[in-house]
């Protein structure tokens, strides 16, 4: 039976692995980019390293990482740290293709380059955000709901008023999952959908 536990520093390879294996609208994105590690360097590992207290993994019976939830309680604070401290240590690992038409990897490198604090009203109202990814073998065990409830409880303890997440608009099953948890759609466009939820005070 899989179990949820707090993130440890020796889980990093597991985060990279699960991230790429779920990056294609929940499916395996291995080989879609020139370097599979870029997925984890953008969407998983920096969160866990910056705030381990908002990071949990799902561990299998044989001690593999088969899922995770990572989050920040301050989106603008995270963006500042990502821009100033994290991305400079990783950026030179990923070289643009130089092609006239940007490749998928070019687009994700540009995404990393763009990260910065801003004045987005949605972020001001819903300051926390998360990434959650689970391998297919975790399905049907209620692990996604338990991870989300664990995060919301911790954010409430920290006094964070609200949480948002962005997802691929084609991932209809994920959207239905968030709606069952009480999230509401905040924005949609350009192939992405944003959901949010208010966090009750403890």
Locus of tokens 């390293």: 49
Q: What is the mean pLDDT of the chain?
A: 96
Q: Is the dihedral of CA 111, 114, 118, 121 positive or negative?
A: negative
| pLDDT score recorded for residue 173 | 87
Q: What is the CATH number of the domain that holds 166?
A: 3.40.630.30
| pLDDT score recorded for residue 169 | 87
The DSSP code for 142 is S
Residue 132: strand, helix, or coil:
strand
Which parts of the chain sit beneath pLDDT 50?
Answer: none
Number of domains comprising the chain = 1
**Residue 1 and residue 53 in contact, taking contact as beta carbons nearer than 8 Å:** no
| pLDDT score recorded for residue 95 | 92
> Residue 156 belongs to what H/E stretch?
helix 143-157
| pLDDT score recorded for residue 187 | 87
**Residue 44 and residue 36 in contact, taking contact as beta carbons nearer than 8 Å:** no
CA–CA distances in Å: residue 93 to residues 43, 58, 116: 16, 28, 20
The DSSP code for 70 is E
| pLDDT score recorded for residue 183 | 97
Whole-model pTM: value is: 0.95
| pLDDT score recorded for residue 140 | 85
| pLDDT score recorded for residue 164 | 98
**Residue 44 and residue 15 in contact, taking contact as beta carbons nearer than 8 Å:** yes
| pLDDT score recorded for residue 139 | 84
State the residue range of the domain holding 48: 3-198
CA distance 43 to 46: 7
């Amino acid at each position: 039976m899989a179990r949820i536990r707090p993130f440890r520093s020796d889980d990093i390879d597991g985060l990279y692995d699960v991230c790429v294996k779920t990056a294609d609208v929940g499916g395996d994105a291995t080989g879609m980019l020139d370097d599979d590690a870029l997925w984890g360097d953008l969407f998983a590992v920096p969160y866990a390293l910056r705030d381990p207290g908002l990071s949990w993994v799902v561990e299998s019976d044989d001690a593999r990482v088969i899922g995770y939830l990572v989050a920040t309680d301050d989106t603008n604070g995270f963006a500042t740290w990502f821009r100033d401290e994290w991305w400079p240590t990783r950026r030179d690992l990923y070289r643009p293709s130089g092609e006239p038409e940007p490749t998928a990897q070019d687009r994700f490198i540009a995404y990393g380059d763009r990260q910065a604090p801003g004045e987005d009203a949605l972020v001001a109202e819903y300051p926390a955000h998360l990434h959650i990814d689970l391998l297919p073998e975790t399905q049907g065990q209620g692990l996604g709901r338990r991870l989300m409830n664990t995060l919301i409880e911790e954010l409430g303890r920290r006094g964070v008023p609200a949480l948002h997440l962005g997802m691929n608009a084609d991932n209809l099953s994920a959207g239905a999952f968030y709606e069952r948890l009480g999230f509401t759609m905040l924005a949609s466009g350009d192939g992405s959908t944003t959901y949010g939820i208010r966090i009750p005070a403890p």
